[in-house]
Amino acid sequence: MSIALIDYGAGNLRSVRNALVAAGADMVVVTADPDAVAKADRIVLPGVGAFAACMNGLSAIDGLVEAMERRVRGEGAPFLGICVGMQLLAGAGEEHGRHVGLGWIGGTVRAFDPQPGLRIPHMGWNDVEPTRAHPVIARGEAYYLHGYHFADAADVAATSSHGGTFTAAVARDNIVGVQFHPEKSQAYGLATLERFLAWRP
């Protein structure tokens, strides 16, 4: 089973790759090649940094978004978005202006509302509370690092809390995204990746 771990200059690739291998993946290809993405059995989109920079990096690679669209939305390959990789599923992001996302799942990525005593970015361990049954998402505690969140998201699969409830995971058909970092979430993160590898949507 081949996993395409997408390299567009905005992900913690080494740690995510190591975590996927530790979770049982036997062939993880770190790639920006649309042909490799088009042939992969599963696709993982990591993401670290600002929404616009990540989306621009993804869009700058000729044919990559189209290959993802075809393989994931057209052909049903299982997809996992991590942190900003999940946020890019939204229709738009409002970090440093308004920017168009992939639009695979409805919603807008917005900043946390400042509140007295609320630390932003949200950093550290926090609960993951499923909102419905899903083969990949389970209750537990995961590691987060983000100043923006997937607001008004359609297809919420789990929530967490930081100055109020926010989206911890989204899921629709063969697409799942998590705001937390599985590669930094120790046993819970590895178990999440194991479930993703075993998932047959």
Of 66, 134, 183, 194, the active-site residue reads 183
Say if residue 9's pLDDT is above 90.
no
Domains of the chain, earliest start first = 2-198 (3.40.50.880)
Interval 88-118: pLDDT, tens: 999 999 998 999 999 999 999 999 998 999 9
pLDDT the model gives residue 92: 97
Burial class (CB in 10 A: 0-12, 13-18, 19+), 115: exposed
Residue 59 pLDDT class (50, 70, 90 cuts) = very high
181 is known as an active-site residue: yes
Of 122, 146, 149, 181, the active-site residue reads 181
pLDDT the model gives residue 132: 98
Say if residue 10's pLDDT is above 90.
no
Q: Report percent pLDDT > 90 for the chain.
A: 96
Backbone phi and psi for residue 39, each to the nearest 5 degrees, phi listed first: -105, -10
Interval 17-45: pLDDT, tens: 999 999 999 999 999 999 999 999 999 99
Q: Read off the pLDDT of each residue in 76-95 and give the average, rounded to a whole number.
A: 97
Of 83, 95, 122, 162, the active-site residue reads 83
183 is known as an active-site residue: yes
List CB contacts of 137: < 8 A, sequence separation 6 or more. Answer: 128, 130, 157, 158, 169, 171, 176, 178, 192, 195
Q: Read off the pLDDT of each residue in 59-82 and give the average, rounded to a whole number.
A: 98
pTM over cut 0.85: yes
Say if residue 129's pLDDT is above 90.
yes
99 is known as an active-site residue: no
Residue 122 pLDDT class (50, 70, 90 cuts) = very high
